Amino acid sequence: MEKPILPITLTLILLTGAGCSSDENSRVAELATRQLERQAEQNQRMTELQQEVASGSRKLVEADARSRQELVSLQREMQTERNEIGYQRDQLEAERREIADSRNRDPIIAAAISRVTMVVVSLLPLLICWLLLRQKIEPANDQQMTELLLDDLVSAEPWLMPPANTNPDKPRLTDFSQPLDPDDPTERST
């Protein structure tokens, strides 16, 4: 825009100088000078505006670069947080599954324990009987059996046989006092 105005102004100045009078020449020269001054002012303003625009553009580019860096760092932080949240969610899900498995498994274990306990309790009497049957019992001899029966018969509280005398008016054999015979083998000292 600057180049076409300058040749036009120079052409006007030359034309007015060659073909016009001095009064008109001075007026045209004055107009041309004013026009040149205005043009110089406009050029100066345009230069200042271009410098301001360039400075503003630089600042805008720098601010844009900073904001992009901040955006990238924020996106990295968000990705890190997402990863952490995902990891925590996976841990929570694993813990939930473990609790669900435990809830399913615990009643089964409790039922198995109670069944095993019932089997053991029901087998204990059989085990005791088996142990008793396996014991080797030696038969008692006749003399021991006779002594046991006689002791029970003459005792005030018999163990083997109930007392035959349920009537208190009839005396028992032990109720009679008899002298002890030291030569009698069936008599024992009590």
Confidence check: pLDDT of 182 > 70: no
Question: What does the block give as tokens for 30?
Answer: 């004055």
Long-range contact pairs involving 119-122 (C-beta distance under 8 Å, separation at least 24): none
**Residue 25: φ, ψ to 5°:** -65, -45
Q: Is the full-model pTM beyond 0.75?
A: no
Rounded alpha-carbon distances, angstroms, from residue 129 to 10, 116, 125: 141, 20, 6
Letter for the amino acid at 91?
A: Q
| Mean of per-residue pLDDT scores for the chain | 81
Letter for the amino acid at 22?
A: S
Confidence check: pLDDT of 73 > 70: yes
In total, the chain counts a number of residues equal to: 190
Rounded alpha-carbon distances, angstroms, from residue 89 to 95, 96, 106, 158, 160: 10, 10, 25, 81, 79
